[in-house]
Chain A
Amino acid sequence: MKTINLLSSFLVLALFSGQIMAQIKVTTVAEVEVTEINKQGEKVVKRTEATRVVPGTEVIYTVTAKNTGNEPADNIVVTNPIPEQTVYVEDSAFGAGTTITFSVDGGTTYNTPAKLTVKDAAGVSRPATAEDYTNVRWTLRFSLQPGQEAPVWYRVRVK
């Protein structure tokens, strides 16, 4: 009896979630910067989609949250795990009107850089560095209006 109750409430929740899921869309793009020389002989930095890279290359991840529904969305939190073969580039995360926090434990807890610590092999705590970050989180301090997009981004360097 208890099982059935639990199951049914799960179903209701799933249906409800599915309904509002369509209202926010999150898209990630990976790009690299390529320096080209234009017809005027000037150097121009262009961004192109990252398809193949070599170690040491910086890749820019741009995450865009878009409200595709017709009601404002609040309390938006965008999370991106830093790929393990890459290292976060210090001070590269940005998002207008967002509070940016990082995780050093795979996304269990988040904090601002100054408050993050990690333990070394001997169990001694030390301030975390960019290499220690595992996840980036942007908390939007504004409501996303219908049709509005909120792009945020950060850079990684491929190990």
Chain B
Amino acid sequence: MTRLRGLLLAAFSRQISLILPATATTASYTVDAVGDCGNRHHDPQRVHPPGHGTRHTETYWPLTLALLLTIWLPATAMAIGTSAGIDISNSSTAEYSIAGSSGSVNGNTVSFRVDEKLDVNVTWQDAANVGVSTPDTDQILTFLLTNTGNGNDAYTLSVQNALGGDQFNPVQVDIYLDTNGNGNFNAGVDTLYIPGTNDPVLGADASQTIFVRNNIPAGLNGGDLGNSQLTATSTTGSGAPATSFANAGDNNTTAVVGTSGGSSSAIGTYDVTYATVSLLKSVIISDPLGGNQPMPGATMTYSIQVSVTGPGTANGVVITDPIPANTTYTTGTLTLNAVSLSDVADGDAGDVGGTTPNTATVDLGNLTAASPIQTITFEVIIN
């Protein structure tokens, strides 16, 4: 039983913790009381494991917004610098008159070659601190690496997590390169970064999205921050600006370290701001013969207990639960915390069939760990 509840917790916490940092405003839950479940399980204390007796779907606007933000974050456009290896030539002309006759003359041609400037810029892309649980695994920070030099360059990537100004050190897992260029981490699509093997190669002004994955230690407090820094360093050369590397640049030019020093870092931050919403659903069956068999005419009393753990707030929690197939809702039986709710959509917190046909909907508002456990009950009769 404990294990089942743990499963429920895990399933919910992942989604909630993703949402809350993006100024979450809505969290909705759908709890399907699958009809045949009631027919088989009649242990009044039975908890339905996810995907079997209880299925939940969360629809979060904030998540959608967060995705959109990521997609629309503009990659800072840079003016394209003159390519390394180009010769820039110049010559002057003069017109004049001497003793009443005019003439013109062309001067010498002077020329110099454009060397490769090694410059790079790394920026953290997440719109806000990335909310995490404690402990947590494979939490992603998104960075953008841009070649701000004027030639092709490759970069070595590294992560530094022992940084000041925060309350905990994330533990590095790995670095991924955004292979499909959509700005979002896609497991199985994006490429694991292996230093020296697939160092990202970028042309002048080209960008590459980088994902840094860290684990989050256990035992942290709500509001604790953890910084993680991604550094990209030119493999052609880095060091004090103006340091030069003969013949190392494109077209055999000299590579010259620019103002970035050929290396750039950016810090991303995790924030322990999760709220874990747990749903505990049970059913009690009472048959017309005084037993607890799920036979036609038996009454099934569903009970959904909603609680929150963690330091964050689950905002706008709405529980929706379709009336199981082959059952009929007993009108007037919807309750919240032992207080009866009318079946029509009106001023009170819930309804059955008013918001969505043949579905119980209860709006619980904002919940925190300090909120009392919310208990929703309703009855159906097996047809």
Contact = CB atoms under 8 A, between A and B. Distances in A.
A41 B81 CA distance: 34
A91 B86 CA distance: 27
Contacts of B101: 16, 20
Contact of B112 (A17, A59, A75, A144): A59
Interface in B98-114: 98-99, 101-114
B115 A77 contact: no
Interface string B88-125: 11111111111101111111111111111100000000
Decide if the interface of chain B is mainly helix, strand, loop or mixed: strand
Contact of B90 (A71, A80, A159): A80
B115 A53 contact: yes
Nearest to B107: A26
A77 B256 contact: no
A78 B253 contact: no
Contacts of A76: 94-96
B146 interface: no
Nearest to B148: A55
A7 interface: no
A20 B117 contact: no
B375 interface: no
A23 B176 CA distance: 68
User: Which interface residue of A29, A30, A54, A65 has the most chain B CB atoms within 10 A?
Assistant: A54
Interface size class of B (residues with CB under 8 A): 35 or more
B79 interface: yes
A54 B258 contact: yes
A71 B99 contact: yes
A151 to B, nearest CB: 11
B105 A158 contact: no
A5 interface: no
Interface in A27-76: 27-30, 50-56, 59, 61, 63, 65, 69, 71-76
A71 B98 contact: yes
Contacts of B95: 75-77, 79
Interface in B130-172: 150
30 contacts: A16-B101, A20-B98, A21-B105, A23-B96, A23-B103, A24-B105, A25-B105, A26-B93, A26-B107, A27-B108, A28-B109, A29-B110, A53-B113, A54-B114, A55-B114, A56-B258, A59-B112, A61-B110, A69-B98, A73-B96, A75-B102, A76-B95, A77-B95, A79-B94, A79-B95, A80-B92, A80-B93, A83-B88, A83-B90, A158-B114
